[in-house]
Amino acid sequence: MNPRSALSSICRVLAIMGLALVAGSAALGQESAPAETLTLTPTQAGELAAQTALPVLTAGEAVNQAQAAVGQAAAAGGLSLQFSAAYGRTGPIQTAKIDKETITLGSPIVAQYGLSLTQPLYTGGRLPAALSAARSGVTAAQQQVETTRRAMRLAAQEAAYQVLRAQELAGVAQRQTQAFREHRRIAQAMFDAGTVAQFEVIQAQTQLAQSEGSEIAAVTAVARGLAVLRQILALEQTWPLSVVPSVDPITRPAGDLSALIEAGWEWRPELAALQARVQQAEAGLRLAKAGRNLTLSLGGQFSESQASVFSAGENWQVTVAVSKPIFDGGATRSNVASAESQVKQALLALDIQRQQVALEVTQSYLSLDQATKQLQVATQGVVDARERARVAEVRFQAGVTNGIEVLDAQTALAAAEAAQITANYDLQLALIRLYEAMGQPLSGGEMQ
């Protein structure tokens, strides 16, 4: 992700959350005013998850580790300076007499310190290969972050749509309960007037009780969906959260299936990560081949010691060291063969992922066509079921039919409305899954 895109994502997250509200007392464990309700659209929930979900933060640490590996590789070609020191005491001290004069041959103090300096001058291609491999590792880790963000974005969007679906299904259940309650009232009134048998009232009461149970289950499904969404967003389960539909509708991406697959190959971060792995493996191959090459380094050393009259003093030296492997028992040949195999494996993994992207785009494209047609069928089904329910109610009040027809019609209407809601959200999910399969997440209802 480039800096401008990253800044744009962060700004969106700040606007979604109100930032300080989420990071405040929950982190510090301090008492404060009740948390304000966080209201999100599915698109906003996806953007928030892409920044704050715990798997995304974990993947970010892998980037830090990869960047540290670059520093480690670069340090191998830099100047190194080492200081060493030692101090101690020794005894007994030996003496000797020369011309009636006593001379001490040793010292009760043993002291030594030194400085050593090393600067590689030529590494035979090892350093550039190691740096290239490390930098490719950073790129791969960064693309893995994008892959994780994509997965968490999609998970949050799907969870938000499931909440919206559950909310609408709860609305259907509530309307069905109201319809059954009204039917029971009418049946009771007609029974009191002597126009229907008591069985009609009992039947209406039984159906109403079952509908009330379904309504409770539907409301519970909403709460469960919100709990799942909180977990994805790394929010406390007690945090007030609501989901509202997006203002801007999601439009179908332009282009035929071939164009959409090409877009997936261009934008999917998994492919970019695997391409970086190929480059990393190729750098590893160059590094393995460099094991046969000559190396050249410059070294310097200075030391001073005190132990006896014969060893005390200063010493220094400057050296130029040349190293060329002659025979290593086949270790370099084996390392090269292993590195070549790793390059082939990385290329095969890239080809496999390209095929997987093409499959995911194709499946999402077909699912979108299917969902579009199912919504058309479900919409017409609601029109038919609503008219049947109206006719059945009129016939019942006119005494032409019994209450079973009304109850059956109301049940069929609720099922048709539920099917329409499901088909509508299946269409929305198919759209976002197609965009995500192409590697192009949504922002504000439009493709980035």
**Residues 154, 161: Cα–Cα separation, whole Å:** 11
3-class SS of residue 24: coil
pLDDT at 29: 43
Contacts of 288 (CB under 8 A, 6+ apart): 332, 335, 336, 338, 339
> 101: which strand partners?
98
Alpha helices, DSSP H only, in 193-308? Answer: 198-233, 257-267, 269-289
Tokens (6 digits) for 379 = 């919409």
Which of 20-24, 101-105, 220-224 has the weakest average pLDDT?
20-24
**Residues 448, 437: Cα–Cα separation, whole Å:** 14
pLDDT at 22: 40
**Residues 150, 147: Cα–Cα separation, whole Å:** 5
3-class SS of residue 251: coil
Instruction: Over range 127-137, report the average pLDDT.
Output: 91
Question: Is 1.20.1600.10 the CATH number for 36-79+129-291+337-447?
Answer: yes
Q: Residue 183: which H helix or E strand, with range?
A: helix 126-192
Q: Is the pLDDT of residue 443 over 50?
A: no
Q: Is the pLDDT of residue 402 over 50?
A: yes
pTM equals: 0.74
pLDDT at 306: 66
Q: What would the pLDDT profile of 286-339 be if each residue is shown by its tens digit?
A: 999 988 888 888 888 888 776 555 555 678 888 888 888 888 888 889 999 999
Contacts of 399 (CB under 8 A, 6+ apart): 195, 196
Which of 103-117, 179-193, 410-424 has the weakest average pLDDT?
103-117
Q: Would strands 241-243 and 313-323 be described as parallel, antiparallel, or unpaired?
A: unpaired
Amino acid, single-letter form, for residue 402 = N
Do 105 and 94 meet the contact criterion of CB atoms below 8 Å apart?
yes
- Render the burial of 299-320: b for 16+ CB within 10 Å, e for the rest: eeeebebeeeeeeeeeeeeeee
Do 89 and 109 meet the contact criterion of CB atoms below 8 Å apart?
yes
Which of 10-19, 233-242, 381-390 has the weakest average pLDDT?
10-19
Strands, E assignment, 3-79: 38-40
**56: exposed, middle or buried (Cβ count in 10 Å: 0-12, 13-18, 19+):** buried
Taking alpha carbons only, the member of 217, 228, 206 closest to residue 172 is 217
